[in-house]
Structure 1
Amino acid sequence: MADEFAPIRSTGIGSWPGTDLIEALKISFDEAPELPFLPELPARGVGSQIIGRGIAVLSGLGADLQPAGWRLTDAPGRDQLRARATLRDDRDQLEEVAQDYRGPFKIAIAGPWTMAASVERPRGDRLLADHGARRELTQSLAEGIAELVDDLQRRLPALDLVVQLDEPALPAVLAGDIATASGFSKHRKVDVPEVSDSLQSVAEAVSAALRPAEQSTLPRVWLHSCARGVPVQLVHKAGFGGVLVDLDQLGTADWDAIGQAMTDGLWLGAGALSTSPATGPAAGRQWSADRVGERVLRAVRTLGLEPDVAGRMIITPACGLARFDRASAVGALRAVRKAADIVTDQLAD
């Protein structure tokens, strides 16, 4: 049975404490060697946070930072230009650190529906309120991510890039649970076909930009959401090879959808290390790799997965680690890595 699946891998989600990218990159390569990732450092400011990074990637759309948040403008504003400069600097530093690395490497960018739920139109209210603006945003984001992929592959041709779309707002968009700018009402639900088409167009643009992998069999395009109610089947049908979820947020229907999708070839990023304030490490206490491993094994048993199907799994923290201190964040990566070894050993018996 041990030959029926590859060893379970581990990685981080993306966000990381501190402001030193070189240090964070070295930790990523050391502590998540099976799938290192480009850390996001929101402590550096709004341009390095999830929406700011998405703003930096947009192609052909200008934006600026207003008191209420990011808003589209006729031309790039100072804050968007600063976010783009930070992203260029990050690529320079990645190029320096990763010169001798060959293998899979993950980057993360906000997806179109989280961007639409967070960014305002020039005349106010969220892009989510305007069908044409939603379509334009999707096209801009797809082109921008493809351009980013092209640049990274030119700089570091030995990387097998993996692209993760961060969509924490996706379930709320589908449920009609995004508040309007006034806060007195909510935006209407977006039709499922439009959501699917938007995600599919981004997935296709990114997939077309990615060179064939040389060192890895991992899916190249993933979607991450640590919210409740992730539409797993929709995501899979839209062309994503993997979905990363918070195991704490899954209900019975979610488990059924994941089990069916994994049987059909989907990979699962199992967010088994809880990052909620109630379960984070207290001073002097470490994350429990045994507990994380047991949660994943329980998920395997719940889904009734055969070992070869269970091998299509990566163990991660449930969400990003930016709110923790450096030692705790490093401990989290070590815990999920050790848990991956534990699960691999159990499945091999």
Structure 2
Amino acid sequence: MSETVKFAWGPAGATGVGSMPGGDARETARMVTGEVGGFPFLAELPARGPGADMVGRSAGMLVDVYAHLEPSGWRISDRPGRDTKRAQSWLREDLDALEEFTQGYEGPLKVQATGPWTLAAALETRNGEAALRDPGACRDLAGSLAEGLRNHLADVRRRVPGAQVVLQLDEPSITAVLTGQVKTASGYRTYRAVDRAIVESTLRDVLAVNGDGPTAVHSCAPDVPIALLRRAGAAAVSLDFGLLTERQDDAVGEAVEDGMALLAGVVPGNGADTGALSDPAGSVGGVRTLWRRLGLDPGSLAESVVITPACGLAGASPAYARAALAHCVRGARSLSSDPE
């Protein structure tokens, strides 16, 4: 992996996870590019309704696979319907807004999509069960997602030609998929755990659509399988830093030493009190402690870590979301300064 790919965002990086509050695409793009202008991202606005949510947006990207909304959730369809078209329309609106506020921009730009395993756990087949139940359906879904992401990334690069696009796959269900904890439609049973080698190879294939560009996998669930993500080729892992445990130390240390970046979610995503965001250096103190505990090179800290909210900001107020992103930037800068 080249140095350019590893550190596309440069030292003292900060960005958002993906989702933001409200429903105004232009105002959100203005906020994102204003607060994290060194590492902006294509925001998601789930408050607008179906198709703007994480699963609906990615379902709208699929090629030759379609989905519509049922009371139980998103279900695979034979043909595109109004739900698919709505999802595609929301995405175009978000891209138009981002393009407007990134004129002349050169640097890293992050886009997010639901990963193949979380998508397989969320999308229902015609019988109402998750696609996760059917290995063939999982393969078809991953292939369709990969093709859709190729098209999406090409569109982003056309709209923002100076961007180095960072692809983030959102996989909050990946641990449940690996451990057989995804519930069936009845809620009384769980689907069989998927073999780790299959999970890894599928992720590798989907991440590969970004070519030589940087990639990340995000999960704000406990027990993120860091070693598996590293083997699958992710250049970075994005997680809720507060959920890391000392038993994951070896995996974190090996990943960082192997050149993997850590998108550390240290700022609460669902807060309401902007006054709580008063100590940027304190917010990243746990990251410094981890570095010392692992015996990692202090000089690599600001380069290897990007500061983010713990998870998406969709549930926060716009004022808090703006303050949280600004706090992430200040926290990241403090990693470059002397801790004393």
Match of residue 327 from structure 1: 319
CA distance in 2, matches of 1:305, 1:64: 48
Cα distance change, pair 155–248 in 1 and its aligned pair in 2 (3 A): same
Alignment of 1:225-264 (within 5 A): 225-264=219-258
Alignment of 1:17-166 (within 5 A): 17-166=21-170
Say which of 264, 273, 287 aligns to 1:270: 264
Q: Deviation at 1:143?
A: 0.7
Match of residue 293 from structure 2: 302
Match of residue 4 from structure 2: none
Question: What per-residue deviation string (whole Å, max 9, x for no partner) do you get for residues 43-94 of structure 1?
Answer: 0112111101111111110111111110001111210111112112222222
Q: Deviation at 1:42?
A: 0.6
Aligned to 1:100, the other structure's residue is in SS state coil
CA distance in 1, matches of 2:208, 2:305: 23
Q: Residue 290 in 1 paired to residue 251 in 2?
A: no
Alignment of 1:337-348 (within 5 A): 337-346=329-338
* Conserved? CA contact 2:167–2:207, under 8 Å: no
> Which structure 1 residue ranges, 5 or more long, are not aligned?
211-219
CA distance in 1, matches of 2:278, 2:125: 42
CA distance in 2, matches of 1:326, 1:35: 19
Q: Deviation at 1:39?
A: 1.0
Q: Which moved more, 1:85-94 or 1:134-143?
A: 85-94
* Conserved? CA contact 1:207–1:221, under 8 Å: no
Equivalent residue letter for 1:230: V
Aligned to 1:22, the other structure's residue is in SS state helix
* Conserved? CA contact 1:54–1:110, under 8 Å: yes
CA distance in 1, matches of 2:272, 2:23: 22
CA distance in 2, matches of 1:275, 1:296: 17
Q: Deviation at 1:287?
A: 5.1
* Conserved? CA contact 2:265–2:308, under 8 Å: yes
CA distance in 2, matches of 1:44, 1:264: 40
* Conserved? CA contact 2:240–2:311, under 8 Å: yes
Say which of 303, 309, 317 aligns to 2:309: 317
TM-score by length of 1: 0.91
CA distance in 2, matches of 1:94, 1:272: 25
* Conserved? CA contact 2:42–2:95, under 8 Å: no
Q: Deviation at 1:272?
A: 1.2
Match of residue 216 from structure 1: none
Q: Deviation at 1:144?
A: 0.5
Cα distance change, pair 307–283 in 1 and its aligned pair in 2 (3 A): closer
Aligned to 2:288, the other structure's residue is in SS state helix
Question: What per-residue deviation string (whole Å, max 9, x for no partner) do you get for residues 329-349 of structure 1?
Answer: 1111111111111111026x8
Q: Deviation at 1:100?
A: 2.1
> Which structure 2 residue ranges, 5 or more long, are not aligned?
1-6
Aligned to 2:108, the other structure's residue is in SS state strand
CA distance in 2, matches of 1:77, 1:300: 50
* Conserved? CA contact 1:113–1:170, under 8 Å: yes
Equivalent residue letter for 2:235: G
Match of residue 217 from structure 1: none
Equivalent residue letter for 1:344: S
Percent of aligned pairs with the same amino acid: 40
Alignment of 1:182-221 (within 5 A): 182-207=186-211, 220-221=214-215
* Conserved? CA contact 2:13–2:38, under 8 Å: yes
* Conserved? CA contact 1:142–1:206, under 8 Å: no
CA distance in 2, matches of 1:283, 1:270: 20
